[in-house]
Amino acid sequence: MHIVLLGTAAGGGFPQWNCWCPPCRVARADPSRAVPRSQSSVAVSADGARWFLLNASPDVREQLGRLPSPTPAGVRHVRVEGIVLTDAELDHTLGVVLLREARRIQLVATDAVRRVVEDDSRILAVTRAFAEVAVGEMVPDQPFGLCHRDGTPSGLRVTCFPVPAGPPRFAREERFAHTVGLLVRDERTGGSCAFVPGCGGFDSDLVSRLGAADLVLFDGTFWTDDELIGLGIGDRTAREMDHLPVSGSDGSLARLRHLPSRDRVYTHINNTNPMLLEDAPERALVEQAGVRIGADGMRFTL
Ligand code: MLT
Ligand code: MN
Ligand code: ZN
């Protein structure tokens, strides 16, 4: 299985258009010290040519342009076979409507996520004015085989599991599995990748799920719980926003560092997070723990 980190920033990207926090300032002035990043999304493929997206970000157009793919024979070619959603947040779903030129789009989501993109954000309703959208329902703990647009099996299976988080602000109801983590497994090689871009807690169940994956891509939104409050740009803590901070004795790094997985990588990193600075002590702490800080274009083969 081939895995490409298409985008590794949280909503707003890095630098964020309206932000002059310390990392955003450095990213503009000296990008070699703080490498810009697009909004979080991952591409997975069993054959290196036909790709599935894990979430579709508002930066999807530029992201797909960087995806390895053979030159197509025809005039039109859709290099995305399907899109698997972890939740219905805007930074993970606006890319669906931006892919409307595909004329036919395959989505895979839980019933709760489908309802929010259908009825609350209405992203599916708008997309359907341009393209046929088929939604495959993913049920927690039931492996779902991903198929190509022509109906043939891809050899990739995805299993979802609910993670602690609230529903999007615009969701009218809170339903079971509105936010999930994904485990993608290649049936041929046995390689597996866990993708958890938004997660408000880390219990022993999550430790064992993630520990079973070869590659773990995890929520690296905030360094500290009071990051936005400290900068004077927010009034909610990281945990109140359903993002477990990286640092601290009960932060995500303390858990990830002990996982037996071959690679552990932070993604969905908010622009305020000091670990984005190449020379920051926070970054060194993460790397010393054997965990990597995701960057756009990072690739893995499992
Ligand atoms: C989040 O990661 O918490 C959401 O993407 C928030 C947002 O979209 O503003
Ligand atoms: Mn987000
Ligand atoms: Zn910023």
Which residue's CA is the nearest one to ligand 1's atom 7? 11
Q: What is the pLDDT of residue 105?
A: 97
Respond yes or no on whether the N-terminal peptide bond of residue 15 is cis (omega within 30° of 0): yes
- Say how many Å lie between the CA of residue 292 and the centre of ligand 3: 21
| CB 182 within 8 Å of CB 162 | no
Instruction: Give tens-digit pLDDT for 205-227.
Output: 999 999 999 999 999 999 999 99
Sheet containing 215-219: which strands, arranged edge to edge?
A: 144-147, 153-162, 180-186, 192-196, 215-219, 263-267, 292-293
**pTM of this prediction exceeds 0.95:** yes
Q: What confidence tier does 151 reach under pLDDT thresholds 50, 70, 90? A: very high
- Say how many Å lie between the CA of residue 275 and the centre of ligand 3: 12
pLDDT score of 70 more than 90: no
Average pLDDT over residues 59-84: 92
Instruction: Give tens-digit pLDDT for 31-50.
Output: 999 999 999 999 999 999 99
SS3 32: coil
Cβ contacts of residue 93 below 8 Å, gap of 6+? Answer: 55, 56, 85, 117, 121, 123
Query: What Cα–Cα distance (Å) separates residue 77 from each residue in 5, 70, 103, 206?
Result: 22, 10, 11, 38
Q: What is the pLDDT of residue 236?
A: 97
Atom of ligand 1 at shortest range from CA of 243:
3
| CB 290 within 8 Å of CB 263 | no
- Say how many Å lie between the CA of residue 28 and the centre of ligand 3: 10
- Say how many Å lie between the CA of residue 16 and the centre of ligand 3: 6
| CB 8 within 8 Å of CB 296 | yes
Which residue's CA is the nearest one to ligand 1's atom 9? 11
Average pLDDT over residues 91-100: 98
Q: What confidence tier does 98 reach under pLDDT thresholds 50, 70, 90? A: very high
Residues 16, 40: Cα–Cα separation, whole Å: 13
Mutate to test the pocket of ligand 1, among 39, 57, 91, 243 (most ligand atoms within 8 A of CB): 91
Instruction: Give tens-digit pLDDT for 258-302.
Output: 999 999 999 999 999 999 999 999 999 999 999 999 999 999 999
Q: What is the pLDDT of residue 93?
A: 98
- Say how many Å lie between the CA of residue 76 and the centre of ligand 2: 31
Mutate to test the pocket of ligand 1, among 8, 40, 89, 273 (most ligand atoms within 8 A of CB): 89
pLDDT score of 71 more than 90: no
- Say how many Å lie between the CA of residue 270 and the centre of ligand 1: 10
- Return mean pLDDT, the chain: 97
Q: What's at 6, amino acid-wise?
A: L
Q: Torsion-angle region of residue 203: left (phi > 0), alpha (psi -120 to 50) or beta?
A: beta
Mutate to test the pocket of ligand 1, among 14, 41, 85, 90 (most ligand atoms within 8 A of CB): 90
Q: What confidence tier does 95 reach under pLDDT thresholds 50, 70, 90? A: very high
Ligand lying closest to the C-alpha of residue 228: 3
Report the pocket of ligand 1 as residue ranges, CB < 6 Å. Answer: 10-11, 89-91, 198, 241
